[in-house]
Chain A
């Protein structure tokens, strides 16, 4: 059946309207971005800024050494992300389990979350990085890599635990009741029913914390790990140019993009499956 005259007229109008809207968006984007570019490049200090921050040859020279230093950042955040997730889930579960036997551990979990969320990450890094080896205790790690891993895991584990706890508490009580009514134990209900739903629900804020964590691996330069930022600093100090910082920044940006796309993909996939779209 062919659409009615009225419907055809509506479609023509909608097409025309979206064309006009597209044109307005394009023109205003060009105007605003172009205007900004003009203001920046016409500023009196631009030639010097251009030379020190955005020099193509400096960037090319700095690229290989910063790239190989960034491998350390990647190793760091991959290890830390896994550990943070484990710590976060354990602490979150300890805080929601209604067992009175766990009271002392619960208290510990609360103190942990409060202390490490409240302390600046840089401070945690310095305390763990310099404080733990100074204890000279048997068995404490002395490798800077693992000290760095411990520091950031402690700090981010506290954030992630709170996010996951919020996710667990947001699951409808009937889901708990349904699981228990099937004769599943508390642990089985948590593991198979509540936690999978909770993690999915909090995936976006979780990703946010992970992006933040990836950037904060740069803080580990303060305890002597030569990662991308530190490497950029070295080159910058040597030649008195700032372009290496911009190169390092681009690496950090590039590293967060796959994570964002992965989360988008997972979210869309579970939406599609569960809603049958």
Chain B
């Protein structure tokens, strides 16, 4: 049995009167890819933001390895260095070149030498075929290229887990493929990934487990094969028919 990297225990979160997460239990094991699916507003993004401590949970706890990270006494910045996250848009810093975007975290947060961080960044960019864009600024890149750089930037921090929050939702279909290729490559390198997505066929292809969220609760969790072909819950079935037509 692989070791658990990240674990959520009865996590609750409300915004005002709106209860967005109503007790989420989830275990993420080393090297696993989990896809969160569900309608907009079902709590996918909020769950990811809670796992990264960008949102404070109202109740329940989250464990990273054997440390409870919802403990207010822990160093939040240290946790975030080992849990990477990429958002739907506005990830890159527009006033910094692609290279400086990638180098910033390792240099400022991890205290790496600039030269080392630089070499690592060039190598990562080379791997996703964007080495020639190192000196470019984010706004000069296409949306797909920007998201690939954002992925690389998160990877440069060498996180234990990578959280992806609908990172292809703002892209036109032609550009989605390139971004998904990068995720495939990360998976084959053994990266642990939790991603919220609307790309059902991709989820089916890449996920070890698929989690269907509905109104702030995990309605169903299972292998992609099981979820997509034989959903147990009628709500899962309904959601999938609407999505897959």
Contacts and interface: CB of A to CB of B under 8 A. Distances in A.
A174 to B, nearest CB: 4
A200 interface: yes
A257 B108 CA distance: 39
B212 interface: no
Given A174-B87, A183-B81, A274-B138, 8 more contacts: A174-B89, A177-B54, A178-B91, A178-B92, A179-B93, A181-B54, A181-B85, A196-B95
Would you list the 6 A-B pairs with minimal beta carbon distance, nearest first? Answer: A276-B140, A183-B81, A182-B105, A183-B109, A174-B90, A274-B137
Interface of A is mostly: helix
Contacts of B89: 174
B80 A180 contact: yes
A162 to B, nearest CB: 22
Contacts, number: 75
A132 to B, nearest CB: 40
B90 A175 contact: yes
Interface string B125-145: 000000000001111100000
Contacts of A200: 95
B110 interface: yes
A274 B81 contact: no
B90 A182 contact: no
Contacts of A185: 77, 109
Contacts of B137: 273-276
A197 B95 contact: yes
B153 interface: yes
B190 interface: no
Interface in A223-271: 270
Interface in A166-203: 172, 174-175, 177-185, 188, 192-193, 196-197, 200
B221 interface: no
5 contacts: A182-B109, A183-B77, A184-B108, A274-B137, A274-B138
A183 B80 contact: yes
A188 B52 CA distance: 18
A276 B110 CA distance: 30
A183 B105 contact: yes
Interface of A: 172, 174-175, 177-185, 188, 192-193, 196-197, 200, 270, 273-276
Contacts of A276: 136-137, 139-140
B121 interface: no
Contact of B109 (A175, A188, A196, A274): A188
A213 B84 CA distance: 46
Interface of B: 49, 52, 54, 77-78, 80-81, 84-85, 87, 89-95, 104-105, 108-110, 136-140, 153-154, 157
A180 B104 CA distance: 12
Contacts of B87: 174, 177-178
A44 B173 CA distance: 75
Contacts of A192: 104, 108
A167 to B, nearest CB: 13
A248 B85 CA distance: 58
A175 B89 CA distance: 10
Nearest to B141: A276
A270 B137 CA distance: 10
Nearest to A173: B90
A178 B93 contact: yes
A172 B95 CA distance: 13
Given A172-B90, A183-B81, A188 B140 contact: no
Contacts of B81: 182-183
A210 B26 CA distance: 56
A200 B85 CA distance: 27
Contacts of B91: 174, 178
Contacts of A273: 137
A178 B90 contact: yes
A274 B146 CA distance: 13
B53 to A, nearest CB: 9
Given A274-B138, A275-B140, A276-B136, A184 B95 contact: no
A180 B93 CA distance: 12
Given A172-B90, A178-B87, A183-B77, A188 B108 contact: yes
A180 B140 contact: no
Nearest to A182: B105
Contacts of B84: 181
Contacts of B52: 181
A183 B94 CA distance: 19
